[in-house]
């Protein structure tokens, strides 16, 4: 299976996977606690920041169209340069009406930004799914952006919200939600599998490929840094040496790669 870039399409058995981007994000080095970037300067741009994607993924089978993560929306500041998702979907030949399920790996604003726009569901026929723990953290618990919380409540009032309550729950045939908490209480990753091919969409369980080489680096937005670290380690162990492809939402160019064992440290190698 080839590496992917934004707005690229690949087949995975009976599934079609399209990677799309809502734009880019700028992450300052100090976002990672205890980090020393001296050995990783190649990941930083001229502005001294790490530039990642606001990655989203469309998965189709013969009957269903699922959007995984929903970008930040028409939002532009020093950290997020969003707003591209509608055009990216159009370019990929995906209509908003055909998307029947939106799965958010978590409810941070850069993964749920397009769910509601101008007081209306942006994906008019979609059920919205996310880990149950994120309802407790972001909706009833009041964490995060007010406009995301208000959007989720509006969708819930319309019967459009269906939290994921079980680790290993099937979203549609070929897409399984796996609990991966720590970044948020209900953070999930999505495992795609069909006819022996398998890949993992990591959401924000891993923010930057450098965390494979620097497993102690923790994101300041992790709600439970110790749990997030254990989750990353478990995912790395599961992927290491298997040949399964993986990508996280903010990886540069949304290129899939494989986790290879290294001498003392793992490596992420683009396929």
Torsion, CA 11, CA 129, CA 25, CA 1, rounded to 10 = -10
For 66-94, the pLDDT digits (tens) are: 999 999 999 999 999 999 999 999 999 99
pLDDT score, position 216? 85
| pLDDT tops 50 at residue 3 | no
Share of the chain above pLDDT 70, in %: 95
Query: Residue 185 sits in which domain range?
Result: 8-197
Structural domain includes residue 261: no
Structural domain includes residue 108: yes
Average pLDDT estimate for 126-137: 98
Share of the chain above pLDDT 90, in %: 82
Residue 168, domain CATH: 3.60.15.10
> Bigger pLDDT: 196 or 131?
131
Average pLDDT estimate for 180-194: 97
Strand, helix or coil at 199? strand
Average pLDDT estimate for 20-28: 96
Average pLDDT estimate for 114-134: 98
pLDDT band at 142 (very low <50, low <70, confident <90, very high): confident
Average pLDDT estimate for 34-53: 93
Rg (CA), the chain: 17
CB 203 within 8 A of CB 231: no
pTM exceeding the 0.85 threshold for the entire prediction: yes
Strand, helix or coil at 237? helix
Structural domain includes residue 192: yes
pLDDT score, position 4? 46
Structural domain includes residue 125: yes
pLDDT score, position 241? 83
CB 69 within 8 A of CB 57: yes
Structural domain includes residue 1: no
How many domains would you assign to the chain? 1
pLDDT score, position 27? 95
pLDDT score, position 8? 86
Average pLDDT estimate for 102-119: 98
Structural domain includes residue 251: no
pLDDT score, position 67? 98
pLDDT score, position 222? 96
Backbone angles phi, psi at 152, to 5 degrees: -65, -40
Structural domain includes residue 270: no
pLDDT band at 263 (very low <50, low <70, confident <90, very high): low
Structural domain includes residue 56: yes
pLDDT band at 264 (very low <50, low <70, confident <90, very high): low
Torsion, CA 251, CA 256, CA 261, CA 266, rounded to 10 = 0
pLDDT score, position 215? 82
Listed range (92-96, 115-119, 177-181, 212-216) with the worst mean pLDDT: 212-216
Q: What DSSP letter does each residue of 152-195 carry, written as one string?
A: HHHHHHTT-B--B-STTEEEETTEEEEE-TTSSTT-EEEEEEET
Beta strands 101-103; 65-68: pairing state: parallel
* Mean predicted lDDT score pLDDT of the chain: 93
HEC secondary structure over 215-235: CCCEECCCCCHHHHHHHHHHH
| pLDDT tops 60 at residue 181 | yes
């Amino acid at each position: 299976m080839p590496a992917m870039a934004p707005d690229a399409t690949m087949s995975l058995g009976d599934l079609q996977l399209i990677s799309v981007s809502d734009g880019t994000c700028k992450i300052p080095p100090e976002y990672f606690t205890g980090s020393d970037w001296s050995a990783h300067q190649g990941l930083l741009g001229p502005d001294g920041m790490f530039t990642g994607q606001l990655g989203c993924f469309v998965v189709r089978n013969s009957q269903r169209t699922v959007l995984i993560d929903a970008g930040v929306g028409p939002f532009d500041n020093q950290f997020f340069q969003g707003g591209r998702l509608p055009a990216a979907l159009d370019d990929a030949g995906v209509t908003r009406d055909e998307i029947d399920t939106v799965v958010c790996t978590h409810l941070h604003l850069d993964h749920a930004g397009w769910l509601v726009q101008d007081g209306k569901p942006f994906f008019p026929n979609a059920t919205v799914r996310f880990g149950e723990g994120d309802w407790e953290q972001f909706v009833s618990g009041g964490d995060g952006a007010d406009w995301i919380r208000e959007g989720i409540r509006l969708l819930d009032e319309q019967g459009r919200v269906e939290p994921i309550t079980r680790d290993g729950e099937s979203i549609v045939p070929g897409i399984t939600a796996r609990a991966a908490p720590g970044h948020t209480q209900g953070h999930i990753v999505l495992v795609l599998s069909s006819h022996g091919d398998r890949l993992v969409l990591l959401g924000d369980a891993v923010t930057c490929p450098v965390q494979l080489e620097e497993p102690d680096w923790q994101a300041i937005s992790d709600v439970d840094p110790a749990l997030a670290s254990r989750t990353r380690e478990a995912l790395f162990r599961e992927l290491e040496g298997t040949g399964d492809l993986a990508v996280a939402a903010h990886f540069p160019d949304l290129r899939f790669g494989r986790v290879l064992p290294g001498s003392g440290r793992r490596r992420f190698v683009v396929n």
